[in-house]
């Protein structure tokens, strides 16, 4: 499973906006990988940021 898939899975299961550090802890991957995945997912329109430094899945 790619980092993007993992981040997407963690965010959809969380049910609330999460910070990159929280995503990294829950996913068990490095925060650098999470940051890269977040950027790509935002560019694809799959996740949004409801407030600064928090991310959630688009409904």
| Predicted confidence (pLDDT) per residue in 4-43, tens digit | 999 999 999 998 999 999 999 999 999 999 999 999 999 9
pTM: 0.90
Confidence band of 1 (pLDDT split at 50, 70, 90): confident
Residue 26 exposed, middle or buried by CB count within 10 Å (0-12, 13-18, 19+): middle
Average pLDDT over residues 51-55: 96
Q: What is the pLDDT of residue 59?
A: 75
> Is residue 17 left, alpha or beta, with left meaning phi > 0 and alpha meaning psi from -120 to 50?
beta
Domain that holds residue 9: 3-57
Q: What is the pLDDT of residue 48?
A: 96
The tally of domains found in the chain comes to: 1
**Residue 31 belongs to domain with CATH number:** 1.10.10.10
Supply angle C-alpha 50, 52, 56, rounded to 5: 40
């Amino acid at each position: 499973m790619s980092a993007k898939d993992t981040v997407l899975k963690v965010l959809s299961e969380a049910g609330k906006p999460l910070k990159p550090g929280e995503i990294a802890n829950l996913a068990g991957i490095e925060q650098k990988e999470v940051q890269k995945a977040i950027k790509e997912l935002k560019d694809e329109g799959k996740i949004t940021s409801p407030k600064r430094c928090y991310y959630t899945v688009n409904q």
